[in-house]
Structure 1
Amino acid sequence: MYIKEEQLRKWVKGNASAVDFLLMVMKISHVWDDLIDKDKSLEDDVINHCFFDALVRLPRNEFYRKNFDHLNSIMMNSMSNWLISNDLEREGGDLQLNIAFILRSSYVDLITQSALLVGGQAWASQVGKEVRKLTHHEKFDGYLRALNEEKKARQAAER
């Protein structure tokens, strides 16, 4: 995970419940990605903990509950974009990969929107620029290298 807890804390102006919400969503997203890509072996405890977070802790999170109507729609859109990006990656092609590179990180919109909820639109715009730069630090070439490794790992797991 590229985004550290201290950075999240700054972006949500110290709101501990918002930090916990974002950390859970990022962790769940990464485990889900690893399960689909089959590029990492996950211990049962990691998977079990992730499902507990998704099914028990996340719905009980104070920040998420208070802002559910706003955040849940963004979460649904992020999931849709991630699924679309996986399909585009598997299709291949320059256009598809360029689109997938950005779409797959739509979960960071939850960070920008959390910043909006705690600090207003100007703050959200500032945070949005910072989080996008950090999220795409690998640049497109790095993304393509990682995608190639994931494809190899997935093919090996399917054998």
Structure 2
Amino acid sequence: MYLDGKQVLYWMKGNASAADFISMVMEISHLWDDLIDKDKPLEDEVVNQCFFDALIRLPRNEFYRKNFDHLNSVMMNSISNWLIANDMERGGGELELNIAFILRSSYVDLITQSALLIGGQAWASQVGKDVRKLTHHEKYKGYLRALDEEKKARQAAAR
């Protein structure tokens, strides 16, 4: 899921530092996913920039620094859920795939929790509904098609 910068800024009620935090985490998350899925070629410059963002820019982000204790725990949980989803996708049956479909997108909790910190619970609930609909717009059948393509790409890369 790639987010429109204006949409993220709206969800963050104009807080540019929060929007930058969200954008960086989404870009880092997607590159990490692409590295693991091996489903598309990645330019060295893109990988280098992403690692620079993860190691240098993200820890210096004002919003993240101010809310580190809260957001870092959410990020840790999101990563754990993504790893679990990957395992379930690769070795599971129908139930595991149903669970993985939702579980793998736990990273969007960072958006909801950032909205909570900025605008309170009612705002977080509104943003959460919007972002979940956007995240799962492909629906389950689309997810299964994409997963099948990723499996084929991983197999081809392994050869």
RMSD: 0.6
TM-score by length of 2: 0.99
Unaligned runs of 5+ in 1: none
Asked if 1:11 corresponds to 2:19, the answer is no
- Deviation of 1:3 after TM superposition, in Å, equals 2.0
Equivalent residue, structure 2, for 1:25: 25
Deviations 1:102-158 (A, max 9, x none): 011100000000000100001001111110011000000000000000000000000
Asked if 1:46 corresponds to 2:46, the answer is yes
Q: Distance in 2 between matches of 1:105 and 1:4?
A: 17
Runs of 4+ in 1 over 6 A off after TM superposition: none
Q: Is the 8 A contact 1:2 1:134 kept in 2?
A: no
Asked if 1:146 corresponds to 2:146, the answer is yes
Aligned-partner SS, 2:137: coil
Aligned-partner SS, 2:142: helix
Aligned-partner SS, 2:2: coil
Deviations 1:7-33 (A, max 9, x none): 111111000000100000000000000
TM-score by length of 1: 0.99
Q: Is the 8 A contact 1:38 1:153 kept in 2?
A: yes
Asked if 1:116 corresponds to 2:120, the answer is no
Unaligned runs of 5+ in 2: none
Q: Which amino acid aligns with 2:55?
A: L
Q: Percent identity?
A: 81
Equivalent residue, structure 2, for 1:87: 87
- Deviation of 1:2 after TM superposition, in Å, equals 3.3
Q: Which amino acid aligns with 1:95?
A: L
Q: Distance in 1 between matches of 2:137 and 2:114?
A: 21
Asked if 1:99 corresponds to 2:109, the answer is no
Q: Which amino acid aligns with 2:34?
A: D
Equivalent residue, structure 1, for 2:62: 62
Aligned-partner SS, 2:32: helix
Q: Distance in 2 between matches of 1:23 and 1:56?
A: 15
